[in-house]
Structure 1
Amino acid sequence: MTLLTTWPESGPGTLLRRTADPVEIAAALEPLGVRYERWPVREDVPADADSETVFAAYGPQIDRLTAEEGFTTVDVLGLHPGDDPEYPVRAKAAREKFLQEHTHDDDDEVRFFVSGSGVFYLHVGSEVHAVYCEKGDLLGVPRGATHWFDMGTRPSFTAIRFFHEEDGWIATFTGSAIASRFPDYDTLAAGYEQEKDAA
């Protein structure tokens, strides 16, 4: 399930919103120009499925979204702990790349989570919105929106990425240290799991 948490940009001392209701999340994100959808989850798709398996499983949804938005490139990105001795190095480098506040001048950032989870942080106006996404969630951050993404210290996810531009992910970094002021993925995920266990 998705979790939306909103704070003032000054820091997380004041909680402005916290909801796991998909209707409320969609209503809160729509005015920000953020696309949020829930796709039916394919439980028969392994968490670390390869691109061919993912495309076969989610073909109709991919085709619909590509037709609606005019995407030219769709790919699958996966990062999972396992037997790969390079995983710690690759995971750290990937996390650091996305963890700094940035914008995309020429493209939206659209991701569908096939498995695993991650948090998009949207810095809009005087607020920061943390959108904790799990499998089945699609999130589209509009071009020009200031944001960052955290996959945690031990990333484990597979995501479909949609691009209008063939060059793929190109970021303009703001140089701000704002990301360091807010709870990271590991903190949010741990709290969320405790809440679900208690429910």
Structure 2
Amino acid sequence: MTLLTTWPESGPETVVRRTSEPGEIAAALAPLGVRYEQWPVRDDVPADADSDTVLTAYRAEIDRLTAAEGFATVDVVALHPSDDPGFAGKAKAAREKFLEEHTHDDDDEVRFFVAGSGIFYLHVDGEVHAVLCERGDLLGVPRGTTHWFDMGTRPAFTAIRFFHEEDGWIGSFTGSGISRRFPDFDTIAAQYAEYAEYAEYPA
């Protein structure tokens, strides 16, 4: 279940919106220029599948989006828990790279979640929108949009990335520190099951 939570940029004390309905999420994000779609998932693609397997499985969807949007490169990024002693350090470094608010001046940030989850935080027009993306979700953040991404302290995800520019991911950091004032991935994930239960069995 995907989850959208919106707060005023002043802080998370007041929840402006919280919904898990895909149509409501898409409608709320569209005025921001943010693309939200759900693609059919491939049950025969394991969470830790290699890049070639992932790209082959989703070739039809990749080709459709690439043709429509003119993407120059497509690749796969993955990070999953491991018994490797170096995993904790690798995960921490990867998380910290994206955790501070930034923009992309020359490209959109478009991701499709093949497996696992992560949260994109969009800071637009005086509000912060936290989009918890899971398997089957595609999110497209327009260039110039201030945002950050949190994969949690123990990342577990595989995602397809789309780029218009061959240089790939280049961020311009704002230095605002706003990301530290809002609930992180682990906090929202801990609340996730409680909200999912309420959404399924409302009072």
**Structure 1 residues 73-112: aligned runs within 5 Å:** 73-112=73-112
TM-score, normalised to structure 1, is 0.98
TM-score, normalised to structure 2, is 0.96
Residue deviations 1:94-131 (CA, integer Å, cap 9, x gap): 10000000000000000000000000000001100000
1:163 aligns with 2:182: no
Deviation at 1:84, TM superposition (A): 2.6
Residue correspondences, number: 199
Deviation at 1:85, TM superposition (A): 2.6
Q: In structure 1, what residue type is equivalent to 2:15?
A: L
Residue deviations 1:145-188 (CA, integer Å, cap 9, x gap): 00000000000000000000001000000001100100000011
Q: Matches of 1:21 and 1:115 in 2, distance apart? A: 20
User: Root-mean-square deviation (CA), in Å?
Assistant: 0.9
Unaligned runs of 5+ in 2: none
**Structure 1 residues 119-198: aligned runs within 5 Å:** 119-197=119-197
**Structure 1 residues 9-20: aligned runs within 5 Å:** 9-20=9-20
Q: Matches of 1:116 and 1:122 in 2, distance apart? A: 20
Q: Matches of 1:100 and 1:2 in 2, distance apart? A: 22
Deviation at 1:68, TM superposition (A): 0.5
Unaligned runs of 5+ in 1: none
Deviation at 1:41, TM superposition (A): 0.9
1:61 aligns with 2:61: yes
For residue 29 of structure 2, what is the aligned residue in structure 1? 29
Q: Secondary structure at the match of 2:45?
A: coil
Q: Matches of 2:115 and 2:139 in 1, distance apart? A: 14
